[in-house]
A and B are shown apart, each in its own frame.
Chain A
Amino acid sequence: MYRYDEFDAQIVKERVDQFRSQVERRLSGDILEDEFKPLRLQNGVYLQLHAYMLRVAIPYGQLNAARMRKLAKVARDYDRGYGHMTTRQNIQYNWVALKDIPDVLEELAEVEMHAIQTSGNCIRNVTSDHFAGATKDEIMDPRPWCEIIRQWSTFHPEFAFLPRKFKIAVTAAEHDRAAIRVHDIGLHMRERDGVVGFEVHVGGGQGRTPIIAAMVNEFVPESEILDYLEAIMRVYNRFGRRDNKYKARIKILVTETGPEEFTRLVEEEYAAQQTSEKIALPEAEIDRINAYFAPPAFEDKTETSAAFERAKTADPAFANWAKVNLHPHKVAGYTSVTISLKPIAGLAGDATDSQMMVMAHLAERYGFDDIRVTHAQNVVLPHIALDDLYEVYRELAAAGLATANESLITDMIVCPGLDYCNLANARSIPVGQEIQKVFADPAYEQDIGKLHINISGCINACGHHHVGHIGILGVDRKGEEYYQVSLGGRADEKATVGQIIGKALRYEEVPSAVKTIVDTYRDLRTSQDEKFIDTVERLGVEPFQEAIYATD
């Protein structure tokens, strides 16, 4: 877990004071909205459909109990008793009053949190694998480098006014859970001949122009990565388009320039860096940051737990949850728990203040004070002993937090849509709820297996619909909500943009269309081991198109 030093604490405090003064001037009418907007955006404050929205940064999704309790307190004291977890592993509050936001930021600063660079054309929160530091399939813990990149990119004067927003993700696991190929820069940590480095992907993104990132360098050693990132950013800052907001992301630059030429420009920029410009991180500094992420004091345990096995036998609901919501841990006798924030017909990604308090308590009591927010809008307790799992489950269940659906069809990414967002064309949340109801039977859902549905309420794609196995995009047709369905998208190491399968459907047609798609898959799969996405890849979208549109 990161820690502030005295300079960090001071700079965040000064930033809060500065914003307080800006808000006072806005409320007195000394500055108007056009002048205030860039100031509020630099502090994570949006004006949404009904109210202001405050987005708080959660660096690479990691929290501890104290920070989670503070988030709960903000929800309770300044909002309407809940918060919404985002696909950048952050949290958003939907109802906070502008006059209160300086106080909120002051409270957040008490626990080393802020809302800086959660909006605007700057480098946003660095995201990562939510199982980082716990999962068996990583070559190392990527969080120290996430933190180094965070520190490098925070208040970096050269990159405060980029052509457009900029998102970086880092993973160190073979299976990409951080969607790095749909990021402006995706970094995949590798080890080569004993040297740690990064495979560098650039120019991925979603929005109205979905593009899978190009690999611009197979291996940049860790000692050179900040300089290399700086070279990429400089090429973007210099050549990225500023004349058209929709063509301003680095993905357009990489595509229009061509990945080879773009790579050449980066290499040229990198080679031109003067020795005095190079960021030579002192070893002591790297050691200091590594120490923040030292593994917790795990006990020596066996692979299996008698208490865990007994509880599974005694409580079938627990056994079912444990079958779905656990992820293998690198240390024997431990597991990573996904707390689903996707109850059937619930609010995808939302947690109430009381639920946040429960999660904080469980992390503190059983989980080495470690909590993660996932890009799929769930929460993870990364280090839970199997021996303690049943206690954890019972407390989660009592708080409405034990839905057994991690990575199943009801575990959807859903943007706030027209229920909250000023940009949306259609609602996302209720469509997701209606789909969930179709698949609410756990046996049916588990028979379907791993399947990601992602829903966006507009082409900005905050719900990642392009990379959903089933993607659903809300569109406006003369004031009515319609939904375009795409198939075959994925955000992992085989990242692909989904293919639209036909004309948009009316709101009420969507759940049955999804059921038709799913039942078509169940008919066509070679065995239960063939996942939905594999069937779509094997057969293409035609059989699904036929199933939905044949009777038209």
Chain B
Amino acid sequence: MTSVRPKLKPDTPKTITAWETASGKVVWLRADQTWTSDPGEIGVFTGDAAEAALEGAKTQEGEITDPYFMEVTEDGKVAGRETLRETIRANGPTVPYGVII
């Protein structure tokens, strides 16, 4: 485990997030249980379905790495205690980079 993983209640809306193994790109699980690197396509899960989705993700550890629950709103926006971290993780650094100042 490499980052903060808050415990989420079963009925808290959540998604599964991970890194694409080959590229290191951040990915999230869509509602149809495929992976996306577009935070606009995040699938929302709760309860047993969420647990099953995480277990399913763990069986794909060739394609993706270190899946975990991330709290989201009911419409799939980053939410909860780790909002800042997960927003930066989704959108990239808050400072411009690779430029000459």
The main secondary structure of chain A at its interface with chain B is loop
**Is the CB of A47 closer than 8 A to any CB of chain B?**
yes
Once bound together, how far apart are the Cα atoms of A27 and B22, in whole Å?
Answer: 6
Q: How many residues of A contact B (CB 8 A)?
A: 45
> A32-B61, A347-B95, A418-B88 given as contacts; is B100 within 8 A of A98 (CB)?
no
Once bound together, how far apart are the Cα atoms of A344 and B100, in whole Å?
Answer: 11
Q: What's the least CB distance linking A197 to chain B, in Å?
A: 43
Stretch of B28-36, B40-48, B77-85 lying at the A interface: B77-85
Stretch of A49-57, A160-168, A212-220, A372-380 lying at the B interface: A49-57
Contact B84 A82 (CB under 8 A): no
Once bound together, how far apart are the Cα atoms of A33 and B82, in whole Å?
Answer: 23
Which residues of B in the span 59-101 have a Cβ within 8 Å of any Cβ on A? 61-63, 65-66, 80-85, 88-89, 92-101
Contact B84 A479 (CB under 8 A): yes
Q: For B101, what are the chain A residues with a Cβ–Cβ distance below 8 Å?
A: 343-347, 400
Q: For A269, what are the chain B residues with a Cβ–Cβ distance below 8 Å?
A: none
Pick from A96, A399, A419, A423: contact of B88, CB below 8 A.
Answer: A419
Q: For A28, what are the chain B residues with a Cβ–Cβ distance below 8 Å?
A: 62
Pick from B22, B26, B65, B96: contact of A50, CB below 8 A.
Answer: B26
Contact B62 A479 (CB under 8 A): no
Contact A80 B100 (CB under 8 A): no
The main secondary structure of chain B at its interface with chain A is loop
Pick from B24, B62, B94: contact of A29, CB below 8 A.
Answer: B62
Pick from B2, B22, B83, B84: contact of A422, CB below 8 A.
Answer: B2
Q: How many residues of B contact A (CB 8 A)?
A: 32
Contact B98 A352 (CB under 8 A): yes
Pick from B82, B95, B97: contact of A82, CB below 8 A.
Answer: B97
Contact B22 A99 (CB under 8 A): yes
Contact A352 B83 (CB under 8 A): no
Q: What's the least CB distance linking A394 to chain B, in Å?
A: 16
Once bound together, how far apart are the Cα atoms of A420 and B92, in whole Å?
Answer: 8
> A33-B61, A99-B23, A418-B88 given as contacts; is B93 within 8 A of A429 (CB)?
yes
> A27-B62, A49-B3, A422-B3 given as contacts; is B93 within 8 A of A98 (CB)?
no
> A50-B89, A354-B100, A355-B100 given as contacts; is B21 within 8 A of A430 (CB)?
no
**Is the CB of A13 closer than 8 A to any CB of chain B?**
no
Q: What's the least CB distance linking A2 to chain B, in Å?
A: 30
Which residues of A in the span 326-376 have a Cβ within 8 Å of any Cβ on B? 343-347, 350, 352, 354-355
**Is the CB of A481 closer than 8 A to any CB of chain B?**
yes
Q: For B95, what are the chain A residues with a Cβ–Cβ distance below 8 Å?
A: 347, 419, 429-430, 433
Q: What's the least CB distance linking A434 to chain B, in Å?
A: 11
Once bound together, how far apart are the Cα atoms of A343 and B95, in whole Å?
Answer: 14
- Could you pull out 22 A-B pairs where Cβ atoms are within 8 angstroms? A27-B22, A28-B62, A29-B63, A50-B88, A51-B26, A52-B24, A80-B97, A82-B97, A98-B22, A98-B23, A98-B24, A99-B22, A345-B101, A346-B101, A350-B97, A352-B100, A354-B100, A399-B100, A422-B3, A427-B88, A479-B83, A480-B84
